[in-house]
Amino acid sequence: MILSMSAVTKSYQTAEGCLSILQGIDLDILAGETVALTGESGSGKSTLLHLAGGLDIVDTGTIVAHGVNITRFGEAERAEYRRTQAGLIFQQYNLIPSLTVKANLHFHAQLADRYDASWSDSLSAGLGLQGLLDRYPDQLSGGQQQRVAIGRTLAARPPLVLADEPTGNLDEATGDAVLEIMVSLCKAAGSSLLMVTHSTRLAAKLDRTITLKSGRILS
């Protein structure tokens, strides 16, 4: 089991009072599995992903990742968890503008002390970036930037990849191509994938789909 969430709840204080986002989430993801997380806007998808990635903390319940209870982590331990165990991919590419494509691809792996030149070369080839390595992010298309963001995350071979609408800013054809590459490379890296998406078409490309409604899992 790469990720196990048990009875997880999360709420936020608003001007109108306490807003409950997640209500007793139980979720297990196996090693190497690809899972789509779907649901309407406001159903709690991104919140669940942020909790699994150590970007936020639960109100109640437990999250065990790679056999370790991350709900007990402090801020520094959560940062280390994100460096080495949970790779994050967002709609916004979040590339470092002053670094070349090559340097961006190596960035996380070097932080995690997991840089592997052979694996990096394989990622560059698989992502179709070999001819772009000396360019800067502002010289790339949206699809190319997202490929770099995916490669940067996978370069460290994290056991768990968490992707929040990673193709949301791309047109359908480009998004489909990027998703297929991401799924293929996750499997090559031995990484599990939990991906938030609004698209049932894209969700169908993964091993399994989980649907959230009003903070609860329907399926």
Each residue's pLDDT tens digit, 136-169: 999 999 889 999 999 999 999 999 999 999 888 8
In a domain, 174, yes or no: yes
> In total, how many domains does the chain have?
1
Query: 161: domain CATH number?
Result: 3.40.50.300
Q: Reduced to 3 DSSP states, what percent helix, strand and coil does the chain have, rounded to the nearest 5? A: 35, 30, 35
Our CA angle for 56, 186, 48, nearest 5°, is: 20
What pLDDT, in 10s, does the model give residues 15-31? 888 999 999 999 999 99
pLDDT computed for residue 99 by the predictor = 96
Rounded to two decimals, the pTM is 0.91
Beta strand segments in the chain, E = 3-14, 17-29, 34-39, 60-65, 68-69, 86-89, 160-164, 192-196, 208-213, 216-217
In a domain, 130, yes or no: yes
Our CA angle for 22, 24, 30, nearest 5°, is: 95
> 39 φ, ψ to 5°?
150, 165
In a domain, 22, yes or no: no
Listed residue (145, 142, 53, 157) closest to 108, CA to CA: 157
Listed residue (21, 25, 156) closest to 82, CA to CA: 156
pLDDT computed for residue 16 by the predictor = 85
How far from 166 is each of 14, 102, 145, 218, CA to CA, in Å? Answer: 28, 20, 11, 23
In a domain, 205, yes or no: yes
pLDDT computed for residue 219 by the predictor = 60
What pLDDT, in 10s, does the model give residues 36-85? 999 998 899 999 999 999 999 999 999 999 899 999 999 999 999 999 99
In a domain, 144, yes or no: yes
Which residues form the domain of 172?
Answer: 33-57+79-217
What pLDDT, in 10s, does the model give residues 109-146? 998 898 999 999 999 998 899 999 999 999 999 889 99
In a domain, 67, yes or no: no
DSSP 43: S
Quick one: tokens of 12? 């936020």
> 114 φ, ψ to 5°?
-130, 25
Q: Which residues pair with 32 in a beta bridge?
A: none
In a domain, 11, yes or no: no
In a domain, 71, yes or no: no
DSSP 88-135: EE-SS----TTS-HHHHHHHHHHHTT---HHHHHHHHHHTT-TT-TTS
How far from 115 is each of 66, 79, 120, 155, CA to CA, in Å? Answer: 21, 18, 8, 7
Q: Which residue has the higher pLDDT, 181 or 209?
A: 209
pLDDT computed for residue 103 by the predictor = 96
